[in-house]
Amino acid sequence: MTKIDYGVDAPKVIRNLCLIAVILFGSSVVFPVFRIGGITINVLSFDLCCGSTCLLFGLLMLMYAKIGKFKHCDRMLKLINWTGNETVLDIGTGRGLLMIGAAKKLSSGKSVGIDIWNKEDLSNNSAVKTMLNAELEGVKDRIEIKDENILHTNFEDNFFDVVLTNLCLHNIYNKEGRMQACKEIHRILKPQVIAIISDFKHINEYKKEFLNSGMTVAKIGTFYFDTFPPLTIIKAVKN
Ligand SMILES: C[S@@+](CC[C@H](N)C(=O)[O-])C[C@H]1O[C@@H](n2cnc3c(N)ncnc32)[C@H](O)[C@@H]1O
């Protein structure tokens, strides 16, 4: 039976953390001490400590993907005063978590998800799987999925009533690109409405670029208990 599945974020990072942990635990058993010349170094506690840290980080990332991200998505959606008529954009929608969450708040509005479907960023990342989630969640008629890169979208100026994005912008690896993405968000957002940005790094860069565009920016908070790496949310309003 097909089930709703919102995927695992950064699956290779989780796999590598677990592999490193296994290698370090293994080497602590096989080579508890290390000899160079006449010196004996006890590496047991170092291996155990680093191995446990890697395993813990891997497990926390998995817990976020399986439990925490649903709470975080609700937290982001609660920041909007929904009327039900909004045209919403979820940037880097992946398997559709925020796009579908927003669609559930709509009556006559539309929730649009854009992505470049990078499989390193999210497991089984594809428009087909996302559409299947929307169908299973009963919101297929209120969503639209597009292959678009946030660096240059085909949307008109002042098009969206709400822009949302979670864990996407840091995947743009150069600062100029991230700045361009913030400019694009500003361009496609209607005046007087809100963009909610959530990410685990570069938050100050985003804030600065939105302020440079003349937006009003407020930090909502950093959430240490149910997100990993801890995610920070900012709210930017176009003036
Ligand atoms: C870690 S996933 C998060 C998915 C979803 N937002 C969530 O919270 O479950 C990051 C997503 O951003 C997408 N992405 C990365 N760079 C992008 C870009 N320049 N434009 C649009 N999407 C992008 C990836 O393909 C991936 O689906």
Q: What is the CATH number of the domain that holds 154?
A: 3.40.50.150
Q: What does the pLDDT read at residue 109?
A: 97
Structural domain contains residue 55: yes
Average pLDDT value for the chain? 95
- Nearest-CA residue for atom 14 of ligand 1: 92
Q: Which of helix, strand or coil describes residue 222?
A: strand
Cβ contacts of 209 within 8 Å, gap of 6 or more: 178, 179, 182, 183
Whether 194 and 179 map to the same domain: the answer is: yes
**125 CA: nearest ligand 1 atom:** 27
CA of residue 147 to ligand 1 center, whole Å: 11
Q: Which residues of 101-128 are buried (b: 16+ CB within 10 A; e: fewer)?
A: bbbebbeebbbbbbbebeeebbbebbee
**pLDDT at position 1 over 80:** no
CA of residue 93 to ligand 1 center, whole Å: 6
Structural domain contains residue 216: yes
Structural domain contains residue 3: no
**149 CA: nearest ligand 1 atom:** 20
CA of residue 163 to ligand 1 center, whole Å: 14
Classify residue 170 by its DSSP letter.
Answer: G
Per-residue model confidence as pLDDT tens digits over 8-55: 999 999 999 999 999 999 988 888 777 777 787 778 888 899 999 999
- Mean pLDDT of the 194-199 span: 98
Ligand 1, pocket-test mutation among 118, 176, 183, most atoms within 8 A of CB? 118
CA of residue 47 to ligand 1 center, whole Å: 34
Whether 21 and 100 map to the same domain: the answer is: no
- Mean pLDDT of the 174-202 span: 98
Measure CA of the first residue to CA of the last residue in the chain; give whole Å. 48
- Nearest-CA residue for atom 27 of ligand 1: 94
**pLDDT at position 111 over 90:** yes
Supply the range of the domain harboring residue 188: 71-237
Whether 175 and 232 map to the same domain: the answer is: yes
Structural domain contains residue 5: no
Structural domain contains residue 80: yes
Whether 105 and 56 map to the same domain: the answer is: no
**169 CA: nearest ligand 1 atom:** 16
Q: What pTM does this model have?
A: 0.94
Whether 36 and 101 map to the same domain: the answer is: no
Whether 64 and 75 map to the same domain: the answer is: no
Whether 133 and 220 map to the same domain: the answer is: yes
Whether 97 and 22 map to the same domain: the answer is: no
Whether 90 and 193 map to the same domain: the answer is: yes
CA-wise closest residue to 104 among 128, 53, 129, 70: 70
What's the sign of the alpha-carbon dihedral 161, 84, 219, 91?
A: negative
Whether 103 and 64 map to the same domain: the answer is: no
Whether 105 and 206 map to the same domain: the answer is: yes
CA-wise closest residue to 222 among 201, 206, 239: 201
Structural domain contains residue 6: no
Per-residue model confidence as pLDDT tens digits over 70-81: 999 999 999 999
User: Are 108 and 160 within 8 A, CB to CB?
Assistant: no
Ligand 1, pocket-test mutation among 153, 165, 171, 179, most atoms within 8 A of CB? 171
Q: Which of helix, strand or coil describes residue 226?
A: coil
Joined together, the tokens standing for residue 160 give 């969206």
Whether 84 and 197 map to the same domain: the answer is: yes
Structural domain contains residue 4: no
CA-wise closest residue to 182 among 169, 167, 171: 169
Cβ contacts of 144 within 8 Å, gap of 6 or more: 110, 111, 112, 113
Structural domain contains residue 173: yes
| Cα distance between residue 45 and residue 33, in whole Å | 10
Write the DSSP string, 100-117.
Answer: HHHHTT-SS-EEEEEE--
Listed residues 53, 68, 83: the one ending a domain = 68
CA of residue 29 to ligand 1 center, whole Å: 40
Pairing of strands 87-91, 39-42: unpaired
| Residues with a CB atom less than 6 Å from ligand 1 | 6, 9, 69, 91-94, 97-98, 114-118, 121-122, 125, 149-151, 166-168, 171-172
The residue to which tokens 């209120």 are assigned: 142
Q: Count up the domains in the chain and report the number.
A: 2
- Nearest-CA residue for atom 4 of ligand 1: 94
